[in-house]
């Protein structure tokens, strides 16, 4: 597990996010083919292929790792039997999503107020926000599936805002649109752009870099 310091300064503006996205384009040199996400902003000689990134900020711990299709579908199946392939395309092919498992633990004496919609995925020349319940509902409609089936697994993924009191924790999936091939190079960051601990508003980031998988 790789840990990183939190950003405790002013919240990023849209222009600041664009600058960060631009800077990400200038680092790393992994092939877009057979690329794997490794925790940490840069490739380090001799590093262990750790996929879990961690950051601590004001008593709050965030841990995230990218999941394979088999891993996140197994979590849905464990939640509700028969839901393993609910988010696959109509023809049974893999769904167009990139999925992370995000765990949050509150070690602070203050409550944490967290809005998943403030998470920004920043990659090579692009940035986007999570897919929420409405987005996934619409996807199922487009695939000719029953969108109301989402209700059974709604507690499996981050959607609306939440509050964690002292010593509380939560672990859920984060859904994003599928990362294009051109985005599978250099770096990828999950920017937690605004969360509140007590009356203080903070930000933090979880970075990875792409490496060509060893055969």
pLDDT tens track of the chain, all 215 residues?
555 555 444 444 443 443 344 334 333 333 334 578 999 988 777 767 899 999 999 999 999 999 999 999 999 999 999 999 999 999 999 999 999 999 999 999 999 999 999 999 998 778 999 999 999 999 999 999 999 999 999 999 999 999 999 999 999 999 999 988 777 778 999 999 999 999 999 999 999 999 876 55
Are β-strands 187-197 and 200-212 bridged in parallel, bridged antiparallel, or unpaired? antiparallel
Tell me how far apart the alpha carbons of residues 140 and 148 are, in angstroms, rounded to a whole number: 9
Note whether 49 and 35 are within 8 A (CB). Answer: no
Instruction: Write the DSSP string, 131-173.
Output: P-HHHHHHHHHHTTS-GGGGGGGGGGB--S-EEE-TT-EEEEE
Tell me how far apart the alpha carbons of residues 19 and 180 are, in angstroms, rounded to a whole number: 20
Return the number of other C-beta atoms located less than 10 Å from residue 207's C-beta. Answer: 20
Are β-strands 53-57 and 60-66 bridged in parallel, bridged antiparallel, or unpaired? antiparallel
Residue with token string 């409405």: 134
- Tell me, what's the pLDDT at 27? 36
Extents of the domains making up the chain: 2-34+54-207
Q: How is residue 72 written in tokens?
A: 């996140």
Tell me how far apart the alpha carbons of residues 124 and 185 are, in angstroms, rounded to a whole number: 7
Residue with token string 């197994």: 74
- Tell me, what's the pLDDT at 169? 98
Tell me how far apart the alpha carbons of residues 2 and 156 are, in angstroms, rounded to a whole number: 25
- Tell me, what's the pLDDT at 157? 98
């Amino acid at each position: 597990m790789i840990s990183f310091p939190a950003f405790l300064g002013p919240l990023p503006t849209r222009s600041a996010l664009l600058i960060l996205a631009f800077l990400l384009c200038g680092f790393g040199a992994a092939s877009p083919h057979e690329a794997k996400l490794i925790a940490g902003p840069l490739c380090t000689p001799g590093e262990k292929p750790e996929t879990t990134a961690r950051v601590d900020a004001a008593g709050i711990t965030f841990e995230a790792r990218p999941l394979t299709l088999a891993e996140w579908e197994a979590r849905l199946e464990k939640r509700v039997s028969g839901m393993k392939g609910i988010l696959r395309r109509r023809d049974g092919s893999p769904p167009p999503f990139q999925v992370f498992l995000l765990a949050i633990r509150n070690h602070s004496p203050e409550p944490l107020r967290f809005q998943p919609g403030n998470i920004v995925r920043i990659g090579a020349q692009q940035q986007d926000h999570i897919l929420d319940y409405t987005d996934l509902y619409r996807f199922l409609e487009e695939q000719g599936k029953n969108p109301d089936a989402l209700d059974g697994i709604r507690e499996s993924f981050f959607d609306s805002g939440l509050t964690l009191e002292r010593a509380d924790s939560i672990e859920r999936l984060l859904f994003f649109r599928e990362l294009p091939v051109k985005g599978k190079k250099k770096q990828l960051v999950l920017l937690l752009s605004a969360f509140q601990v007590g009356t203080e508003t903070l930000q933090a980031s979880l970075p990875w870099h792409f490496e060509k998988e060893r055969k």
